[in-house]
Amino acid sequence: MIRIALAGVLALVLAACSVAPRDAPQAAYEGTVAFAAALKGANAYAAMPRCSATVKPPCSQQAVVDKIIVYADRADAAVRGAQTVAKDTASSDTDVQKAVNAANDAIRALTQIIPAT
């Protein structure tokens, strides 16, 4: 069940990144949506009971949950940065694209550490 949910989240994230946005604010908004979808998968994994001698899979590893927290914080900062740069009329298209790319990279890194259990 969780595997299906995580696959759905990953599909949503990839779909959000597959269509070229019309403008910078839309690109930043799509990053926000992709981040929200990735967080849903991360939260589902973190909510599972921790694996132990008595708790067998499906379960979550505390080390992975700790890593998810770090990567989620990085993605959040990158998405917020992309939103700020996209809203700033003084930002060049190149700056906006770099910020959006950084946010997408951070989101992708987050989704890659969420195990498909």
Residues in the chain predicted with pLDDT less than 70, given as ranges, are: 1-21, 117
pLDDT for 95 equals: 93
> Closest Cα to residue 114, out of 58, 49, 46?
46
pLDDT for 25 equals: 83
17: phi > 0 → left, psi -120 to 50 → alpha, else beta; which? alpha
What are the pLDDT digits (tens) for 17-38? 555 667 878 888 999 999 999 9
Classify 110 as helix, strand or coil.
helix
Classify 105 as helix, strand or coil.
helix
How many domains does the chain divide into?
Answer: 1
pLDDT for 23 equals: 81
pLDDT for 116 equals: 82
Structure tokens at 115: 């195990």
Domain of residue 42 covers 2-113
pLDDT for 24 equals: 77
Q: Do residues 45 and 2 touch, judged by C-beta distance below 8 A? A: yes
pLDDT for 27 equals: 86
Side-chain-facing half-sphere of 97: CA atoms under 13 Å = 5
pLDDT for 20 equals: 60
